[in-house]
Amino acid sequence: MIERTLFSDEHRMFRDSVRRFMEHEVVPHHERWEDQGYVDREVWRKAGAQGLLCSSMPEEYGGAGADKLYSIVVMEEVARANATGLGFGLHSEIVAPYILHYGSEEQKRRYLPKMATGETIGAIAMSEPAAGSDLQGIRTTAIRKGDVYVLNGSKTFITNGWHTDLVIVVAKTRPDAGAKGTSLLLVEQGMKGFGKGKRLKKVGMKAQDTSELFFDDVEVPAANVLGAENQGFVYLMQELPWERLQIAIGAVENAQAAIDWTVAYVQERKVFGTTVASFQNTRFKLAELQTEVQIARVFVDRCIELHAEKRLDMRTAAMAKLWTTELQHRVLDDCLQFHGGYGYMWEFPIARAWADARVHRIYAGTHAIMREIIARGL
């Protein structure tokens, strides 16, 4: 295998500690969390105490002040354990960076330290019942009245939505101006008129508290606008490549984990007096999948470098998400097949991973949208 050159010995030590955290604090509880439909809030605080949340956030805002690779280590270890109930990535590397990049000093000091400890759980609400891919079609409005914006509308499919204490809500502040009239608002749990709907029952990711959110005449202080009014769409476009790369990072790690589980399984499983691993079909297919995952790893590692150099463009990130999640799907499907009937049983990690991964080709922009972005530049 090609040696990964991104990580130092310090990163590797950190990886060991994250892996231990997953083994002790997450994996033994995940099935129970799947049954209840959400992770225990306690795991957020424990992760915060271990430096697993907002790792790359500057120390002055409560983070560890570490480089992005530490956050990537957390993402990879969560993906490796297939601990899909944990919305850490979205919290630490999507919601927190919006506040860091566009927030006022007051907003940063108010929200980020509590996000780093896990006291505050973050979410971002773009999608609505009638608008997902077509974000310009959102209907949620935030109309300025004196010192407040009056927020009305509803959002759906929101990751961390049920636990959340702080949501970045995408709303139209100038409903007649399309993308140019869109703003981001920081909405806090407890604001009058902000309600949470049911936790949504999903095909996979059953421990993830994905929810609906409702806003009924919520009076959001004008000071809670994130960045400049009506610039929301610009900010979304700036952050999306990193969001999509994160999905690619998780997809590659998860695919590698699936190959590792499967190699172990086929060496044990006996059929017709021999192991499943002894068949050429098994060995050749796994060899092909491993080859592709290795290629994906090199591409994604290069994208990580480009992101660090602030040169990761929209199209390259779309290619990374498109191709790695497609690959992840094929790897999981073939690996499930090698498990026979056990591959279809929820108690086997491969079954869960297969169901959980389906959404990767849907959220943060569907495959069609990724193709559209790539095609536009041809």
Radius of gyration in angstroms for the set of CA atoms belonging to the chain, rounded to a whole number: 21
Catalytic residue among 128, 212, 229, 243: 243
What is the C-alpha separation between 39 and 46, in angstroms, rounded?
12
Residue length of the chain: 378
Find tokens 């049954």 and name the residue: 35
74, 138, 158, 317: which one contacts ligand FAD (CB under 6 A)? 158
Among 62, 63, 132, 250, binds ligand FAD (CB under 6 A): 132
122 binds ligand FAD (CB under 6 A): no
Instruction: Tell whether residue 237 is a contact of ligand FAD (CB under 6 A).
Output: no
Q: Least distance in Å: CB of 366 to ligand FAD?
A: 3
Stretch that binds ligand FAD, among 36-44, 95-103, 266-274, 358-366 (CB under 6 A): 358-366
Which is closer to ligand FAD, CB of 168 or CB of 220? 168
Contact between 370 and ligand FAD per CB under 6 A: no
Reported as type and span, the H/E element at residue 276 is none
Residue 304 to residue 312: CA distance in whole angstroms: 8
When the beta carbons of 21 and 111 are compared against ligand FAD, the nearer one is 111
Residues 195 to 224 in contact with ligand FAD, rule: CB under 6 A:
202, 205, 210
* Whether 96 contacts 122, CB under 8 Å: yes
Query: In this chain, which residue has its C-beta nearest to ligand FAD?
Result: 132
Tokens 């086929």: give the residue: 266
C-alpha–C-alpha distance, residues 117 and 76, integer Å: 20
Among 16, 42, 313, 372, binds ligand FAD (CB under 6 A): 372
Q: Which two tokens stand for residue 6?
A: 């991104």
Verify binding: residue 274, ligand FAD, rule CB under 6 A.
no
Tell me the C-alpha distance between 299 and 84, whole Å.
24
| Of positions 126, 169, 248, 303, contacts ligand FAD by CB under 6 A | 126
Residue 125 lies near ligand FAD (rule: CB under 6 A): yes
User: Is position 127 an interface residue for ligand FAD (rule: CB under 6 A)?
Assistant: yes
Residue 159 makes CB contacts below 8 A (sequence gap 6+) with 87, 90, 123, 124, 208, 210, 363
What's the token pair of residue 8?
């130092």
363 binds ligand FAD (CB under 6 A): yes
Alpha-carbon span 36 to 208, nearest angstrom:
10
Using rule CB under 6 A, residue 153 touches ligand FAD? no
Residues 79-118 that bind ligand FAD (CB under 6 A): none
Considering beta carbons, is residue 22 or 167 the nearer one to ligand FAD?
Answer: 167
Determine whether 77 is an active site residue. no
d(CA 108, CA 125): 19
**Residue 154, H or E segment:** strand 148-158
Contacts to ligand FAD by CB under 6 A: 124-127, 132-134, 157-159, 202, 205, 210, 359, 362-366, 368, 372
- Residues noted as catalytic: 243
